[in-house]
A and B are shown apart, each in its own frame.
Chain A
Amino acid sequence: MTILSHILFTTSGVKIMELNGKELLLAYVFGVLLDLDHLVKLPLYLKKNNFKISNIFKQSLPRERYYNWRTSLQEPIALSWIIPIAIFLNSIIPIIFFLSHLFLDYLMNYRKSPFYPLSKFAIRGLSTSISNKTKEFIIIIISICLILLHL
């Protein structure tokens, strides 16, 4: 899902649970900032599309659809390191907000490898008959409603 949906969904969770301080920070780190892992594949994406940083003002950014930006940092296998962190911090927030991030991503129809690099098993998202745009629209509307209800 797009970063906007993750931000709205996490914010609705933050409002419902009335989080603040350290827990608020953890919620956004595990609910939204995990998406920064896409940056790992950015150099490869640019190289694949013959884009040079020196041409940033001359050339438009490549727009390849269906490029696999995902890394195992936002797959269920990441729970193997998120659970120890949650135990160390004595907080369930990292697990809850990571699961919410995972839920949104697994709603989408693109390919996912839940246990990579330990297993190459791959699946599509939930309810693949519904388009990604429709799902995202529903999530955004629900999140906005929840935020407004808890203002």
Chain B
Amino acid sequence: MSFTIGSISVILILFKNLKLGLLFLLAALIFDVLDGAVARYFKLETKQGKILELIFDRTNEASLFLAIAYVNLVDFKTTILAIVAILLMTTIKDKSKFDPGCKRIMLFVGYLLHNFKLALEITFFVNLFSFILSMLIIEYKNQKKIDCQSRTCG
């Protein structure tokens, strides 16, 4: 449901109807939260569902960012860098349990500031920094485990 509404949002942006596109994006984000909440409440969460949600979310984000670039609101270089940073962060977020959540929501920031380039640059840096931080978190946890084993602590 969230993905379908998100896709409509992409199409609307491609047809230069930015306001309506962002309204649909807002609806998609609300449905995204509701989807997860309902699944958790009724204990319908599955591993496959999580993977599918991840794929849909990343696809929707990438297409939204590319649509914004297509209508010349931001350059393609910044767009691709933001997408790459989000994908990098996604590869290890399960291991580090750390996700800043700075993705599609940044399009609203871009709209409010009339500066999508700045919004995507922030997305790029926040996600890239989160990726680096996640790597260090994993490294720290692993070293702690190794040190603990060598001292045979509980």
A contact residues vs B (CB 8 Å cutoff): 37, 40-41, 44, 47-48, 68, 71-73, 77, 80-81, 84-85, 87-88, 116-118
A-B pairs with beta carbons under 8 A, tally: 54
Query: Would A116 and B139 count as touching, CB distance under 8 A?
Result: yes
Q: How many chain B residues have a CB neighbour from A under 8 Å?
A: 24
Q: Is chain B's binding surface mostly helix, strand, loop or mixed?
A: helix
Q: Are the CB atoms of A71 and B124 closer together than 8 Å?
A: no
Residues of A within 8 A of B144 (CB): 44
Query: What sequence of 0s and 1s flags, for each residue 103-143 of chain B, a beta carbon within 8 Å of any chain A beta carbon?
Result: 00000000000000000000010001001100110111011
B residues 30-75 touching A (CB-CB < 8 Å): none
**Whole-angstrom CA separation of A117 from B139 in the bound complex:** 7
Residue of B whose beta carbon sits closest to that of A50: B151
Q: Are A44 and B136 in contact (CB under 8 A)?
A: no
Ranked 6 nearest A-B pairs via Cβ: A117-B138, A48-B147, A71-B139, A72-B135, A40-B136, A44-B143
Does A81 contact B132, Cβ atoms closer than 8 Å?
yes
> Are B140 and A40 interface neighbours, CB within 8 A?
yes
Residues from chain B with a CB closer than 8 A to the CB of A85 are 128
Pick the contact of B84 from A41, A44, A84, A116 — CB < 8 Å? A84
Contact in complex: B151, A48 (CB < 8 Å): yes
Chain B residue numbers with a CB within 8 Å of A71 are: 135-136, 139
Give the nearest-CB partner of A48 in chain B: B147
Which of B8-16, B17-25, B87-95 contacts the other chain?
B87-95
CB atoms of A73 and B147 under 8 A apart: no
B150 interface residue (CB < 8 Å to A) = yes
**B95: A residues at CB distance < 8 A:** 117
Smallest CB gap from A75: residue in B: B135
